[in-house]
């Protein structure tokens, strides 16, 4: 079988739109019937492969859902639309429980310290990360992830289950391995998906990698034996005996100030400033902030760093501006940049919980000390989903038709394509 073209060879909005155009005919029943099949590297044509673009909003969720509704109707594209909404659900859930992210970071630090102190554990983690476990499917997924920056969603669940239960490795190190290599790596989706597999997100309910399931949904590419797997996985929830933290109010970003010299900061959290509904033509200056390396204290894959850099370069080209490159290695970078160009306000896309958000907390304090306002644009899509992301996905799922009506997608009012 001829290998399909790499949909992420080029990082940019044009590539994102081209990939969406190619997949539009398959957003309906073909997606619903084929989405669970992992056909292997280069053969993921039953799923959209849009996630690296959506992650950076080179392509907007609204655009993708509008295309699905236009071509297949709400009912015909139900499964695909739900998957798009699930990304917003995970982001909103973590925004409502930010301590879960902070606990992950603290726990990961402890796990990394443990493999530095425990040579046997370090060797087992190394074997897993090098795809040398002897479990054929797992080792193949390691190779695919490292070489392409992508894994089918079903493979991600099987992989995480094997990592946690069969190999008995710390779940945070597995989440970190994914986050360092996935082109679509997102702090909310990645962290909470691993928690879900381990029985921490939905308390006590684990995801079990079953031999028959892997054989069926890989079209017998892999046929593991039950003896290769842990067939009685136990939830990790006793490791968090206090349960989930309480839901907190959503953080409200500062509204942009009028008639103030404003600089525009571009990050991979939102690479579509054209749709911010703000006039950027009079901006005092533009800058890009590279942050992929913040994903982990361990090395982040080169293709992930490059995809971020190319995405930001494409954004700058589309705006037709010159932009200064800033580094997170310098905590005073934003202050000095604003001072150099005479800006009293920095405008950027909303920065949710995650490594860049952690870095930005310190940067905001320095900006505040210099009386420089920091204003974030939070999109109406997030404003519609996040208030409902307080428990399981069902609450968001039930609201989908109303959210789409409110967004003007069911009556022809939305015109993004």
pLDDT in tens, 307-359: 999 999 999 999 999 999 998 888 789 999 999 999 999 999 999 999 999 99
Mean pLDDT of 142-165: 97
For residues 135 and 117, what is the distance between their CA atoms, to the nearest angstrom? 26
The reported pLDDT for the residue numbered 414 is 42
pLDDT in tens, 218-237: 999 999 998 889 888 899 88
Q: What is the CA radius of gyration of the chain?
A: 22
- Angle at 364 (CA atoms; ends 192, 86), nearest 5 degrees: 20
Straight-line distance from the first to the last Cα atom of the chain, in angstroms, rounded to the nearest whole number: 33
For residues 106 and 113, what is the distance between their CA atoms, to the nearest angstrom? 11
- The full set of domain ranges for the chain reads 13-95+383-406, 98-239, 262-377
* Burial class, 183, CB count within 10 angstroms (exposed 0-12 / middle 13-18 / buried 19+): buried
* Burial class, 2, CB count within 10 angstroms (exposed 0-12 / middle 13-18 / buried 19+): exposed
pTM here is 0.95
262-377 has the same fold as 98-239: no
Domain 98-239 bears CATH identifier 1.20.1050.10: no
pLDDT band, residue 270 (cuts 50/70/90):
very high
Say whether pLDDT at 147 is over 90.
Answer: yes
Average confidence score pLDDT of the chain: 93
pLDDT band, residue 415 (cuts 50/70/90):
very low
pLDDT band, residue 5 (cuts 50/70/90):
low
Say whether pLDDT at 263 is over 50.
Answer: yes
**8 A C-beta contact, residue 224 and residue 158:** no
pLDDT band, residue 416 (cuts 50/70/90):
very low
Q: What is the percent of the chain where pLDDT is above 90?
A: 85
Mean pLDDT of 194-209: 91
Domain 262-377: CATH architecture, name and number where available? 3-Layer(aba) Sandwich (3.40)
pLDDT in tens, 320-332: 999 999 988 887 8
175 vs 392, higher pLDDT: 175
pLDDT band, residue 68 (cuts 50/70/90):
very high
Q: Can you list the positions of beta strands (E) in 291-367?
A: 324-327, 345-349
Say whether pLDDT at 211 is over 60.
Answer: yes
For residues 162 and 238, what is the distance between their CA atoms, to the nearest angstrom? 19
**8 A C-beta contact, residue 156 and residue 193:** yes
Sign of the Cα pseudo-torsion (91, 95, 96, 101, in order): positive
Q: Are strands 345-349 and 262-266 parallel, antiparallel or unpaired?
A: parallel
- Angle at 205 (CA atoms; ends 80, 134), nearest 5 degrees: 85
- Report residue 368 as tokens: 């505040």
Mean pLDDT of 97-113: 96
Mean pLDDT of 195-205: 89
CA distances from 378 to 92, 273, 277, 348, 349 (A): 12, 11, 11, 9, 7
**8 A C-beta contact, residue 328 and residue 287:** no
User: In sequence order, what are the beta bridge partners of 326?
Assistant: 289
């Amino acid at each position: 079988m001829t290998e399909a073209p790499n949909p992420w060879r080029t990082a940019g909005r044009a590539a994102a739109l081209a990939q969406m155009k190619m997949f539009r005919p398959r957003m309906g029943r073909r997606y619903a019937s084929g989405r669970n099949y992992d056909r292997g590297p280069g053969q993921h044509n039953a799923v959209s492969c849009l996630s690296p673009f959506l992650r950076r909003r080179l392509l907007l969720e609204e655009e993708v859902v509008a295309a699905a509704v236009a071509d297949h109707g709400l009912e015909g594209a139900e499964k695909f639309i739900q998957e798009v909404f699930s990304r917003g659900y995970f982001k909103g859930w973590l925004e409502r429980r930010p301590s879960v992210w902070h606990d992950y970071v603290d726990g990961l630090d402890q796990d990394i310290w443990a493999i530095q102190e425990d040579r046997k554990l370090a060797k087992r983690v190394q074997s897993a990360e090098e795809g040398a476990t002897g479990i054929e499917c797992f080792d193949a997924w390691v190779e695919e992830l490292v070489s392409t920056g992508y894994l089918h969603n079903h493979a991600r669940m099987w992989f995480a289950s094997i990592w946690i239960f069969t190999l008995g490795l710390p779940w945070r190190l597995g989440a970190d391995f994914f986050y360092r290599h996935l082109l679509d790596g997102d702090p909310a989706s990645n962290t909470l998906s691993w928690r879900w597999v381990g029985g921490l997100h939905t308390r006590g309910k684990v995801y079990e990698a079953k031999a028959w399931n892997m054989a069926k949904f890989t079209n017998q590419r892999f046929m593991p034996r039950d003896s290769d797997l842990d067939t009685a996985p136990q939830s990790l929830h006793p490791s968090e005996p206090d349960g989930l933290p309480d839901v907190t109010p959503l953080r409200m970003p500062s509204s942009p100030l009028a008639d103030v010299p404003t600089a525009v900061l571009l990050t991979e959290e939102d690479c579509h400033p054209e749709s911010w509904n703000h006039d950027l033509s009079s901006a005092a200056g533009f800058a890009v902030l590279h942050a992929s390396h913040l994903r982990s204290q361990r090395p982040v894959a080169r293709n992930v760093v490059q995809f971020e850099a190319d995405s930001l370069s494409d954004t700058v080209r589309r705006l037709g501006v010159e932009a200064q490159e800033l580094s997170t290695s310098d905590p005073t970078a934003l202050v000095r940049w604003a001072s150099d160009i005479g800006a009293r306000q920095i405008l950027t896309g909303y920065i949710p919980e995650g490594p860049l958000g952690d870095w930005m907390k310190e940067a905001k304090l320095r900006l505040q000390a210099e009386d420089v306002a920091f204003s974030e644009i939070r999109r109406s899509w997030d404003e519609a989903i996040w208030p409902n992301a307080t428990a399981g996905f069902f609450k968001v799922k039930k609201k989908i038709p109303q959210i789409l009506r409110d967004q003007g997608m069911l009556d022809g009012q939305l015109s993004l394509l």
